[in-house]
Amino acid sequence: MPALSPTMEEGGITKWLVKPGDKVKAGDIIAEIETDKAIMELESALDCKIKSILVAEGSTQIKVNTPIAELDLGNTSTNISPTSRGLKKDSEIQSNIVSSKDAEITPHQVSIRKEPQLTVRETIRDAIAEEMRRDETVFLMGEEVAEYQGAYKVSQGLLEEFGEERIIDTPITEHGFTGLAAGAAFAGLKPIVEFMTFNFSMQAMDQIINTCAKTLYMSGGQMNCPIVFRGPNGAASQVAAQHSQDLAPWFASVPGLKVIQPFSASDAKGLLKTAIRDPNPVIFLENEILYNEPLASSSIEEGLVPFGKARILKHGSDVTLVSYGIGIKHALQAIPLAEKEGISIELIDLRSLRPLDYNSVFSSVKKT
């Protein structure tokens, strides 16, 4: 059973659109999968033949990672891998190949995978928890952040530890709960506002810009607004144009806002802790596709990561490549291709879009 969203734990097979013996190409729709939110189409990731159906249509409550069909790749067989859609690398395909003995899988048998120790999702949660333990004025609010543990499960376990007075579910009205958070910030509290997606923050632009961002200037520096707005931003998986916008440049053009978009799990934690302690509004942009990115090393720095300091991820001499957020992931994938052509690339992760580390960029460009 494929995970068709970051929070999906189980699903049902509404309809099989193929049968044993059918040949399919990568991208062909082979089944309709029902989740708790919608019915979605499942595409084949490979050119293959359907060898057998392991779970009948109409079945429900099938746990994610349960093998649902067996594919014939020619010389080998493999069960449909649930972890991603689209074409896989050869190494990923080989990791899913099973022997004829292994292929005798009963319906609803779960394939267990070892999860990374920490991911971006977990380091964001840990940053929130640590700051809430440190400062009792910090609280989290937003749609489904408490009982449901967040649309992307970022707030797992927080309701149990801090209770409903500090982990607050809100109505589906962004302009309303953003205004409440602004008032709380003016009164001395430190709200963390989660938007289910930053696309929905457009409903609250008046509060974010005219109230939160401008008050420090309008009060002559006498009134602060310690508030963090956080949630997924930019390109996502299987969503339409209204849920895929990158609002980073928009927010970065607004005086009074600090705008942060981390790539790594370590930076996500350190930058969010810095954001929560900042006396004025911070836009903390995450990315749905990066939530499962594992921590690059076995340890994580517990300290704060300062705003306005870019990080050079790779030194080079020919070209300077500057990006942030999920763009860094794409850049890291592109660099080996450039190196095959003899091009040495220096990669800079901005991390902070406002303030922007111009000096690091200019120094790199002068060198390359």
Domain(s) of CATH 3.40.50.920: residues in the chain? 311-367
Q: Residue for token digits 């991208």? A: 27
Residues designated catalytic: 174, 243
Q: What would the CATH number be for the domain defined by 311-367?
A: 3.40.50.920
What pLDDT score was predicted for residue 235?
A: 84
Q: How far apart are alpha carbons 319 and 53 in whole angstroms?
A: 50
Q: What is the pTM of this model?
A: 0.72
Q: Is the pLDDT of residue 80 over 70?
A: no
Q: What distance lies between CA 212 and its chain's CA centroid?
A: 25
The confidence band for 302, taking pLDDT boundaries of 50, 70 and 90, is low
Q: From residue 40, give the alpha-carbon distance in Å to each of 11, 44, 55.
A: 10, 13, 17
Top-confidence residue, 276 or 30 = 276
Q: How far apart are alpha carbons 136 and 138 in whole angstroms?
A: 5
Q: How far apart are alpha carbons 117 and 295 in whole angstroms?
A: 8
Q: What would the CATH number be for the domain defined by 120-290?
A: 3.40.50.970
Q: How would you label 108-139 residue by residue, b for 16+ Cβ within 10 Å and e otherwise?
A: eeebeeeeeebbbbbbbbbbbbbbbeeeeebb
Q: How far apart are alpha carbons 71 and 46 in whole angstroms?
A: 9
pLDDT digits 0-9 by tens, 107-144? 333 333 344 468 899 999 999 999 999 999 999 999 99
What pLDDT score was predicted for residue 47?
A: 84
The CATH class given to the 10-98 domain equals: mainly beta
Domain(s) of CATH 3.40.50.970: residues in the chain? 120-290
What pLDDT score was predicted for residue 78?
A: 53
Task: List CB contacts of 33: < 8 A, sequence separation 6 or more.
Answer: 1, 2, 4, 11, 12, 13, 14, 39, 40, 41, 42
Give the chain's count of helices (H) and strands (E): 10, 19
pLDDT digits 0-9 by tens, 13-28? 989 999 999 999 887 8
Least confident segment among 81-95, 144-158, 295-309: 81-95
- How much of the chain, in percent, has pLDDT values that exceed 70? 85
Answer for the pair 22, 6: CB distance below 8 angstroms, yes or no: no
Q: How far apart are alpha carbons 319 and 34 in whole angstroms?
A: 47
Q: How far apart are alpha carbons 78 and 19 in whole angstroms?
A: 16
What pLDDT score was predicted for residue 326?
A: 93
User: Nearest to residue 57, comparing CAs of 88, 90, 91, 33?
Assistant: 33
Fill in the DSSP letter of residue 119: B
Q: What distance lies between CA 289 and its chain's CA centroid?
A: 4
Domain(s) of CATH 2.40.50.100: residues in the chain? 10-98
Residues in the chain: 368
The confidence band for 43, taking pLDDT boundaries of 50, 70 and 90, is confident
The confidence band for 253, taking pLDDT boundaries of 50, 70 and 90, is very high
Q: How far apart are alpha carbons 103 and 342 in whole angstroms?
A: 45
Least confident segment among 23-27, 52-56, 274-278, 364-368: 23-27
Mean pLDDT of the chain: 85
User: Nearest to residue 290, comparing CAs of 260, 322, 264, 321?
Assistant: 264
